A and B are shown apart, each in its own frame.
Chain A
């Protein structure tokens, strides 16, 4: 399978196999006009299989979403056909409107304009809790 290399854009590499579609949706890549390639189940020496997303435009990526969904991904910024910068992602401390509180007793369940904010409460187990009601994110 051949997918053209990109000239100026972003390659999200080392995505855990199966996570690329979730990232595609959360990062709202469907709203872009440029070419976006999702490559699933690529062989990986480290993990066996991985997904890759290639975006043929230099856009701002929400690192918090990336960090929340898959903190092991790497970001390659491509300029003039070459890797200009590589970045590792970490678990974000705060998530704003990335995930939504499902607790029917939470104030966010009745007031739509409130930002859904989650804080990292347990780094080891990657647990996020709603700042308003402390309910764990699913």
Chain B
């Protein structure tokens, strides 16, 4: 029985296989409509989420399966003090696969250690978000035709941004990737990601606070939101939240085939006036997220 807790649980070959299945689902959706008939996904969301939860639910429904679960800790037994381990054991009796989001880092791993069914980490605090990474990889693969040979800029909250950590880790296994890390001093990429991923894999990277200067060099711009829920101090959040706002003016020097990504939800960091720019890929990302989750559910449930 396989679970997905960290993106590195999957080999490069397995990621390729998932991307290939997702592309086939996009091309031939009718082939997959009954694949998970009589199977149930438990969506255990201890933290609010619209996109990820609905994406998992839509993915399972489009595979012909059913969904049960909860969308906040207050409506679960966690409010009564039940442990993650006990929740995982209990839910294993009702469902075939778990997708779990939890505000505490490592909670899905605890669930995996105690569940008798596959567990998918749907985001654990500021730590990992592997299905967002798969979504991003599918989007890059479809927009750029490959997962090798490009320059990507990550902008915004690189400290607590779990999508950034996971994607950087995933990209470290591909060739000729150059990375711009664009953030305020206070939200720089943690040293463990720099040391254990970038330096260890000899990935070329440039740290800067200047978005405008970096933009002309980029093939992909990955914007992120400064997340209020990651701050212990409201003042710090207010000071940093609007530091980077992508506007049409800032794109003047950008490449014609730039791919603008964002894990969403956005607050102010991308002006809505960019939504109609052909380089805006963030809503395609949302759609891709459903397809790659369908591919992942099929793989973990070992459905042919």
Tell me how many residues of B have a C-beta within 8 Å of chain A: 17
Bound Cα distance A114, B102 (Å): 16
Residues of B within 8 A of A113 (CB): 83, 85
A105 touches B110 (CB 8 A): no
- For B196, give the chain A residue with the smallest CB separation: A121
A132 touches B105 (CB 8 A): yes
A109 touches B104 (CB 8 A): yes
B105 touches A103 (CB 8 A): yes
B106 touches A130 (CB 8 A): yes
Q: What does DSSP make chain B's interface, helix, strand, loop or mixed?
A: mixed
As a 0/1 sequence over residues 89 to 107 of chain A, the CB contacts with chain B under 8 angstroms (1 = contact) are: 0000000000000010111
Q: In the complex where A121-B196, A130-B106, A133-B106 touch, is A111 in contact with B84 (Cβ < 8 A)? A: yes
Tell me how many residues of A have a C-beta within 8 Å of chain B: 19
- For B104, give the chain A residue with the smallest CB separation: A107
Residues of A within 8 A of B102 (CB): 107
Residues of B within 8 A of A105 (CB): 103-105, 125-127
- For A121, give the chain B residue with the smallest CB separation: B196
Residues of A within 8 A of B126 (CB): 105
As a 0/1 sequence over residues 104 to 123 of chain B, the CB contacts with chain A under 8 angstroms (1 = contact) are: 11110110000000000000
Residues of B within 8 A of A132 (CB): 105-107, 109-110
For window 69-115 of chain B, which residues contact chain A by CB distance below 8 Å?
A: 83-85, 102-107, 109-110
Residues on B close to A: CB < 8 A? Answer: 83-85, 102-107, 109-110, 124-127, 192, 196
Bound Cα distance A4, B102 (Å): 57
Bound Cα distance A131, B110 (Å): 10
A107 touches B105 (CB 8 A): yes
Residues on A close to B: CB < 8 A? Answer: 103, 105-111, 113-114, 121-122, 129-134, 136
A116 to chain B, nearest CB (A): 11
A107 touches B110 (CB 8 A): yes
Q: What are the nearest 10 A-B pairs in CB distance?
A: A132-B106, A133-B105, A107-B104, A107-B106, A107-B107, A133-B106, A105-B125, A105-B105, A106-B105, A111-B83
B85 touches A114 (CB 8 A): yes
Residues of B within 8 A of A133 (CB): 105-106, 125, 127
Bound Cα distance A122, B192 (Å): 11
B110 touches A111 (CB 8 A): yes
A9 to chain B, nearest CB (A): 38
